[in-house]
Amino acid sequence: MLRKISGLILIVLCCFFSVSCDSNAVFDTYKSVPKEWHKDSIARFEFTAPDTTNNYNLFVNLRNTDAYKFSNLFLIVELNYPHGKTVADTLEYKMAAPNGELLGTGFSDVKENKLWFRGYKTPFKFNEEGNYTVNIQHAMRKNGTVNGVERLKGITDIGFRVEKAQKE
């Protein structure tokens, strides 16, 4: 019995270390969403620019459950530079296949999505040294309605990730 428990602990530790050792990640954190994501609730992430010479990829990370009933997701993502410049984008992400099956990775009803923000088409460089802030807010609407979805169900965590771009 002790041998089985020791083997199980060893497997869990190996999985933990293989997942947690990500050499490309420079910044990677999540904020939990309590029950529903209110339309006025903003997930805020602050980090220091790694350097101004290398290229980076920036991602919005989301965890969602099958309580998420939309096939897409609209987000307003705002990037605030250290010296006052602000860039805001309204972005659309596909969240479900045509058959309704949620996209993303995961074995349970929780799916994890790594969504491109910057670096996909053109390399992204932090051209100012200092602290950056990223604000993420949902901008979902039901078809045919003017007012946005006030309380978005099914999103459990919102994250932001900065990783070193792969050299070509």
Distance CA 153, CA 134 (A): 22
Asked: is 24-164 a CATH 2.40.30 domain? The reply is no
Burial of 10 (0-12, 13-18, 19+ CB in 10 A): exposed
Q: Which residue has the higher pLDDT, 167 or 14?
A: 167
Please tell me the least confidently modeled range out of 67-76, 127-136, 159-168.
159-168
Q: Which residue has the higher pLDDT, 20 or 133?
A: 133
pLDDT tier, 88 (very low <50, low <70, confident <90, very high otherwise): very high
Distance CA 151, CA 135 (A): 18
Q: What is the pLDDT of residue 1?
A: 53
Mean pLDDT of 12-18: 44
Express each pLDDT in 89-142 by its tens digit: 999 999 989 998 889 998 888 999 999 999 988 889 999 999 999 999 999 988
Buried b (16+ CB within 10 A) or exposed e, 142-160: eeeeeeebeebebbbbbbb
Distance CA 114, CA 119 (A): 13
Global model pTM greater than 0.75: yes
Express each pLDDT in 49-66 by its tens digit: 999 999 999 999 999 999
What are the boundaries of each domain within the chain? 24-164
